[in-house]
Amino acid sequence: MDAATGLLSPAGERQRLASLDLLRGLAVLGILAINIGGFAGPIAATLSPNQPVAGTLADEAAWALALVVFEGKMRALFTLLFGASLLLFMDRAESRGRNGERLQFRRLGWLAVAGYLHYLLLWWGDILFTYALAGLSALAFRQAPPRALATAALVLFAGWHLTLAAAMVPQVAREDRVLAGQARPGEAAAYAADRAEAEAKTTRELARDRAGLAAQAAAKWHEAPGEPIEAALTCMGETLPLMLLGMALYRGGFFSGRWPRPALRRLAIGGIATGGALTIGFLACAWPRHFPPDLMQAALAYGLAVPHLLMALGYGAALLLALPALAPTSLGQRLIAAGRMAFTNYIAMSLVMGLVFQGWGLDLIGTVPERWQGPFVALGWALMLGWSKPWLARFRHGPLEWLWRSATWGRIQPLRR
pLDDT digits (tens, 9 = 90+) for 268-296: 999 999 999 999 999 999 999 999 999 99
Residue of 385, 387, 388, 381 whose CA lies nearest to 340? 388
At residue 122, the pLDDT reads: 95
* % residues pLDDT > 70 (the chain): 96
At residue 14, the pLDDT reads: 54
CA distances, 217 to each of 40, 113, 220, 349, 357 (Å): 18, 15, 5, 18, 16
Question: pLDDT, tens digit, for every residue of 326-336?
Answer: 999 999 999 99
- Is pLDDT above 80 for 323? yes
Mean pLDDT computed over every residue of the chain: 93
What does pTM read for this prediction? 0.93
Domain range summary for the chain, segments of one domain joined by +:
10-409
CA angle 78, 81, 82 (to 5 degrees): 85
At residue 15, the pLDDT reads: 52
At residue 16, the pLDDT reads: 55
8 A C-beta contact, residue 279 and residue 300: no
Residue 256 binned pLDDT confidence (cut-offs 50, 70, 90): confident
At residue 41, the pLDDT reads: 87
- Is pLDDT above 90 for 53? no
- Is pLDDT above 70 for 9? no
Mean of the pLDDT values across residues 237-262? 95
Mean of the pLDDT values across residues 363-379? 95
Burial bucket for residue 15 (CB in 10 Å: 0-12, 13-18, 19+): buried
DSSP of 108-158: HHHHHHHHHHHHHHT-TT--HHHHHHHHHHHGGGTTS-HHHHHHHHHHHHH
Question: pLDDT, tens digit, for every residue of 221-232?
Answer: 999 999 999 999
Distance CA 63, CA 379 (A): 18
DSSP of 186-209: HHHHHHHHHHHHHHHHHHHHHHHH
Mean of the pLDDT values across residues 84-96? 93
At residue 74, the pLDDT reads: 95
Mean of the pLDDT values across residues 137-150? 95
8 A C-beta contact, residue 81 and residue 312: no
Q: Which of helix, strand or coil describes residue 344?
A: helix
- Is pLDDT above 70 for 37? yes
276: which residues sit within 8 A by CB, 6+ positions away? 68, 307, 311
Burial bucket for residue 412 (CB in 10 Å: 0-12, 13-18, 19+): exposed
At residue 52, the pLDDT reads: 87
